Amino acid sequence: MQKQHTAISSNLIDKLAKEHSLTANEYLYLIKNRAECSEYLFKNAVDVREKIYGKDVYIRGLIEFTNYCKNDCLYCGIRRSNKCAQRYRLNKEDILSCCKQGYELGFRTFVMQGGEDMFFTDEILVDIVKSIKAKYPDCAITLSLGERSFESYKALKEAGADRYLLRHETASKSHYEKLHPKEMSFENRINCLENLKKLGYQVGAGFMVGSPFQTEEDLANELIFLKKLNPQMVGIGPFVPHKDTLFKEEKQGTVDLTLFMLGLIRLTLPNILLPATTALGTIDPLGREKGIKAGANVLMPNLSPVSVRKKYMLYDNKICTGDEAAQCIECLKQRINSTGYKIVVDRGDYKEINLIK
Ligand code: 5AD
Ligand code: FES
């Protein structure tokens, strides 16, 4: 049975479903009144997603290939000042063997994710990207390596990288400065996203839900920011404190707000590739299934060798750190089947279908 929702919130959701855009105040109204209208939002989000992507759920094989990081983001478990983190790097052979295993399991996108590790020069990365592409020409390569120069992004694109994930973390400069040390700049982050777009990458932005100091107004502005940026992917997940960071005592983000934001993002950017993230699965055992039912259509299971999994701890209690990739994918298939969706063997590229006639 559908819960009661007031005329104002349902009218706003109808408007969003039709026009794919609201004002910041309208988004804010919905966020504040989410308890009464979340089911109606999710119904609309699922409808629009199915028009574009059907019941398909795309999987991306995540290879966490280095946890060295020169940055010191206040929230992140692999920040450089966390002396408790055991650092590791995978070499090219390790990475290629993750891809081999992933390919056999049906993955057609590999995501190379790491901290900002200067050991991985352009030359080394270009060689790795070219090697993956040569072996798996039918696969997409997504990079998630943080902030690099225009020239570096260009070299990696020319080597064959297709997509790049760089969460902006927050669209508010003043909020950004509360989450990052002085030497990191909001402008540079946004500039990197612009450069990636210029270079023809499919680009993913994103933010944490419930990060310290975030307000509901900030969340409303995230949607305005995303609409303007118009990325192909958006990664969001709840903030989860990490025991060895300054934010260890901060509250974690909530499932309900994360799901609501997923629904709003789907209606704002109907074609978006939207993961139900591991962080969401970490704070709720059914988080990823709930994410799919709120409008998400991507999952990013871990392909990293089990021996390093526990070392890539961005936040406490991260799930799936003990299982082989094959077990993870089997578990996910069952979970997704139970929601009425299906995991497909596909690169899962962005679809440009225009819903507004
Ligand atoms: N809680 C949730 N997400 C986090 N990330 C980093 N630290 C945390 C945390 N404590 C996210 C950031 C980053 C992505 C790789 O992981 O948004 O961009
Ligand atoms: Fe590594 Fe933030 S701590 S990029």
pLDDT at site 160: 98
Pocket test for ligand 2, best of 66, 69, 145, 184 (most atoms within 8 A of CB): 69
pLDDT at site 1: 41
Look at phi and psi of residue 131 and say left if phi exceeds 0, alpha if psi is from -120 to 50, else beta. alpha
CB 139 within 8 A of CB 103: yes
- Of 101, 165, 158, the closest CA to residue 135 belongs to 101
For residue 89, the CA-to-ligand 2 centroid distance in Å is: 16
Angstrom distance (rounded) from CA 55 to CA 57: 7
169 lines ligand 1 (CB under 6 A): yes
Count of alpha carbons within 13 Å of 286, Cβ hemisphere only? 6
Angstrom distance (rounded) from CA 61 to CA 67: 17
Question: Which pLDDT band holds residue 119 (cuts at 50, 70, 90)?
Answer: very high
Angstrom distance (rounded) from CA 12 to CA 9: 5
- Res 357 pLDDT > 80: no
Please, what are the domains in the chain?
41-344 (3.20.20.70)
Taking residues 149-177, what's their average pLDDT? 98
Amino acid at 228: K
Task: Please state the φ and ψ torsions of residue 298, each to the nearest 5 degrees.
Answer: -140, 145
The single residue listed with the structure tokens 């998630």 is 144
Taking residues 161-176, what's their average pLDDT? 98
Per residue in 23-44, pLDDT (tens digit) is 999 999 999 999 999 999 999 9
22 lines ligand 1 (CB under 6 A): no
What tokens does 46 get? 């699922």
- Of 141, 65, 133, 156, the closest CA to residue 110 belongs to 141
What is this structure's pTM? 0.97
What tokens does 212 get? 């310290």
Taking residues 326-332, what's their average pLDDT? 92
Per residue in 52-101, pLDDT (tens digit) is 999 999 999 999 999 999 999 999 999 999 999 999 999 999 999 999 99
